[in-house]
Amino acid sequence: MLVEEQRIVTIAYELRQGHAKGPLLERMDPNWPFKFYFGSGKLLPAFEQALEGLEEGSAFEFALNPEQAYGLREEGNIVEVPRSAFDGLGDNFLVEGNFITLTDDLGDQHNGRILSWTDDKVKVDFNHEMAGRTLHFSGVVLNVREATVDEHIRKNYIEEDGLRR
């Protein structure tokens, strides 16, 4: 069966920064594979394009440049937030490198990483953690199957125990 729209795809892969020998960023092995609904719009479009048309057992290797992945790092996404936004979280929360989620005035949530702070402000980087990186994927398609009715409705892979993943 081919990897195509509305199918459940299971892959094992390594994600490395830059090239095949670059630093390892993530590994999904055959014991803990990545399973997803192909064509849900939730994955990087270039990632799905690189897998489309492959069949079960096919090996793959491709790289996505920053523009195809999470974009370039933008200095405008590094902002100073009033320290009062962190009131009630305790001083142990303000740690360089900590990942946070802040909610803006419209109720939208934004993920960021704490860079530094003063008595009045906290400098937060809201760029995606993978922004500015070339991502190199290598792996194998382990399984391709038709999606169930529930998976079609939700456009999500659903485990046998009924939990969405």
Q: Is residue 165 part of a domain?
A: no
26 shares a domain with 104:
no
66 shares a domain with 19:
yes
Q: How many domains does the chain have?
A: 2
φ, ψ for residue 83, nearest 5 deg: -60, -25
Q: Is residue 36 part of a domain?
A: yes
Residue 28 structure tokens: 């999904």
Q: Is residue 159 part of a domain?
A: no
| Span 80-118, pLDDT tens digits | 999 988 887 766 788 999 999 888 889 999 999 999 999
SS in 3 state form for the chain? CECCCCEEEEEEEEEEECCCCCCEEEEECCCCCEEEECCCCCCCHHHHHHHCCCECCCEEEEEECCCCCCCCCCHHHEEEEEHHHHCCCCHHHCCCCCEEEEECCCCCEEEEEEEEECCCEEEEECCCCCCCCCEEEEEEEEEEEECCHHHHHHCCCECCCCCEC
**Confidence tier at 49 by pLDDT (50, 70, 90):** very high
| Span 30-46, pLDDT tens digits | 999 999 999 999 999 99
Q: Is residue 163 part of a domain?
A: no
Structural domain range at position 26: 7-70+130-154
Query: How many Cβ atoms are within 10 Å of 96's Cβ, its own excluded?
Result: 10
